[in-house]
Amino acid sequence: MRKVLKKGIAAVLSATLIMGLTACGSEPAQETPRAEAAVEETGKAQTDAAEESPAEEEAGIVEEAAEGTDEVQSLLGETPLNPEDEYFGISLPMTNTEYYKGVETELSQYCEKFGIKYDMASADSDTQKQLSQFENLMTMGCTTIIVYALDPTSMQDIMARAEADGIRVVSATMTPENIDAYTIAIDANQDSVGTAAAQFASDWIDEHYPDAEDGSIEVVLFSMSISENVIQRCDGLRKIEELNPKAVIVADYDIPSDNYMVKVKENADLMMQQYPDVKVILTYSDVFNLIVDEAMMANPDVDPSQVCSIAIDKTNAAMEKIRLSKTDESTIRATVATGEDFNLTLIQAALGAFDSELNDLKQYFADPFVIQADNVDDYLK
């Protein structure tokens, strides 16, 4: 577990710089004896600084603090709960994938920026470990627990205990069956997410193949069916035929959760053999899309300028590929994110920003957001 204490406004404003230096592996500077010339220059600087009156110095500090406060309020917005009074527990299923590394980084940075004390725990893909960590967060006095549940069904009872004890429970990306197991569920309508990807594909078809006949543009899906949410997302992808009569789904590969990377690669190779004229590939996730894109770009018979593949979930790896697609060095044209900044939405929800906007299931839906060549540079880190 990692613990970050509350910071004052001035310290919060410098957190980004400090983290940047840490990420670059910088060592703290060691003190060394000053040379005479350095002493002379330092003495001059101190003399110049001394000429500034205490009132001017105090005014400068107040102005910087005010600017920092405005920046935080602009980003966070109005929230019923004061960030500096809160203690967040953050329960993640894992941090060994790019997606969850990004979640960990973003939630940490937001907590530090807003002055929120927090503890974060990773379950390393172990449901029992996540249950134990969640209980620890409860006993440590967290006022709110944000949870990306590895297995929502297994987590429901302990989440309901926390809710009953007066701890706000924010469920990320899914809505547990037990409505008493959470205070608010920040979710995305998965059918809408899949449909947004299909709509992008439809628009791309019309732009690149305006005169194509109905049923002539071959589309391949790399889908999954391991849960209701997953099925809903993939059903949204399948709407490509409804959105555009030129499109026809010629293959729909249902990828199992076991050995999924191998299965995606096998099916990508099979796709290129059986459907060499495929023009659109819709995939359940960025991970699938990256594997398919690598296979296609390695095939000399594939003309990437004639292919559009689209993914879901915002990862830097996929966004780098979207940037490369500008010069047809990748087939990945877009990815659909569940909200423009989903983790900021989680923080806002934890502070009560959406309590008055919830539906009967205590849900708040983040709108799908498409990242493509035109805007990808705004989101790459």
| DSSP per residue, 90-154 | EEES-SSSHHHHHHHHHHHHHHHHHT-EEEEEE-TT-HHHHHHHHHHHHHTT-SEEEE--SSHHH
Residues 319 and 237 in one domain: yes
Total length of the chain: 381
Residues 169 and 279 in one domain: no
Is residue 246 assigned to a domain? yes
Residues 176 and 289 in one domain: no
Question: pLDDT, tens digit, for every residue of 198-244?
Answer: 999 999 999 999 999 999 999 999 999 988 889 999 999 999 999 99
Residues 269 and 327 in one domain: yes
Instruction: Work out whether strand 368-372 and strand 332-338 pair parallel, antiparallel, or are unpaired.
Output: antiparallel
Residues 236 and 306 in one domain: yes
pLDDT at res. 86: 97
The region of weakest confidence among 43-52, 186-195, 282-291, 367-376 is 43-52
Residue 184 contacts residue 222 (beta carbons within 8 Å): no
Q: What is the pTM of this model?
A: 0.68
What residues have CB less than 8 Å from 324, skipping those under 6 apart? Answer: 330, 332
Residue 237 contacts residue 198 (beta carbons within 8 Å): yes
Q: Return d(Cα 129, Cα 122) in angstroms, integer.
A: 9
Is residue 23 assigned to a domain? no
- Arithmetic mean of pLDDT over the chain: 84
- Tell me the residue range of the domain where 109 lies: 83-188+341-366
Q: How many helices (H) and strands (E) does the chain have?
A: 14, 13
User: Between 12 and 97, where is the model more confident?
Assistant: 97
Query: What are 17's two structure tokens?
Result: 């710089």
Q: Could you tell me the pLDDT band of residue 266, with boundaries at 50, 70 and 90?
A: very high
Is residue 125 assigned to a domain? yes
Residues 197 and 333 in one domain: yes
Is residue 212 assigned to a domain? yes
Strand order in the sheet with 184-187: 2-4, 117-122, 87-92, 144-147, 168-172, 184-187, 363-365
CA torsion sign for 286, 290, 291, 292 is positive
Q: How many domains is the chain partitioned into structurally?
A: 2
Is residue 379 assigned to a domain? no
Is residue 361 assigned to a domain? yes
Average pLDDT of 274-278?
Answer: 97
Q: Could you tell me the pLDDT band of residue 381, with boundaries at 50, 70 and 90?
A: low
User: Between 17 and 182, where is the model more confident?
Assistant: 182
Is residue 104 assigned to a domain? yes
Q: Could you tell me the pLDDT band of residue 69, with boundaries at 50, 70 and 90?
A: low
